[in-house]
């Protein structure tokens, strides 16, 4: 068994945000010029930042959803890792990392669609968004993150 050196992976939080119908929010990245890929909100954890706080911050930045409209349902107990494909090595995060190590949350969104504002942050990450069935997530994400999405869906299945 190969051991993973966590210091080579960017610390990150990801959120499966579900609505009252247990559909999942996905966004299409603004910088996604190749393919029709959609992803759940995710982002880096600042040095010393609490994971819950990082999740709420990232989710707010990417979706505009206010913290008061979210309930944490569950958090996966283990970090999930993915590697960047070779063509992206050295191009992201100042070349410091080979991939990400992600802590995943399941949150329930208690607001309405009008509470979602992709332009709430001065640097929007998504240009479009939609609600999808959880089982569709692995086929919507870029292939190098597919295994992580399969594990996220499986890990939260009992809560959906």
Backbone angles phi, psi at 141, to 5 degrees: -85, 155
pLDDT tier at 6, thresholds 50, 70, 90: confident
Strand (E) positions, 24-142?
A: 24-29, 42-44, 70-75, 80-83, 99-109, 126-132
146: left (phi over 0), alpha (psi -120 to 50) or beta: alpha
Boundaries of every domain in the chain = 9-159
Tens digit of pLDDT for each residue in 34-51?
Answer: 778 999 999 999 999 999
Count CA atoms within 13 Å of residue 129 on its CB side: 23
Q: pLDDT tens for residues 65-75?
A: 999 999 999 99
Question: What pTM was estimated for this model as a whole?
Answer: 0.92
Distance spanning both ends of the chain, measured CA to CA: 32
The domain 9-159 is placed in CATH, from the list 3.90.79.10, 3.40.50.1390, 3.30.465.10, 3.40.190.10, at 3.90.79.10
Residue 91 has pLDDT above 80, yes or no: no
pLDDT digits (tens, 9 = 90+) for 105-126: 999 999 999 999 999 988 999 9
17 forms beta bridges with 107
Cα gap 27→38, rounded to integer Å = 5
The secondary structure of 49-88, three-state, reads CCHHHHHHHHHHHHHCCCHHHEEEEEECCCCEEEECCHHH
């Amino acid at each position: 068994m190969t051991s993973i050196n966590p210091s080579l992976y960017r610390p990150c939080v990801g959120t499966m945000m579900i609505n009252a119908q247990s559909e999942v929010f996905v966004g299409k990245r603004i910088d996604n010029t190749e393919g029709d890929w959609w992803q759940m909100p995710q982002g880096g954890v600042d040095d010393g930042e609490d994971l819950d706080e990082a999740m709420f911050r990232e989710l707010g930045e990417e979706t505009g959803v206010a913290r008061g409209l979210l309930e944490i349902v569950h958090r996966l107990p283990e970090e999930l890792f993915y590697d960047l494909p070779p063509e992206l090595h050295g191009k992201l995060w100042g070349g410091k990392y080979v991939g990400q190590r992600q802590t995943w949350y399941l949150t329930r969104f208690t607001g309405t669609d009008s509470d979602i504002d992709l332009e709430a942050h001065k640097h929007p990450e998504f240009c479009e968004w939609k609600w999808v069935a959880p089982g569709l997530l692995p086929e919507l994400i870029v292939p190098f993150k597919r295994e992580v999405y399969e594990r996220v869906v499986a890990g939260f299945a009992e809560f959906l």
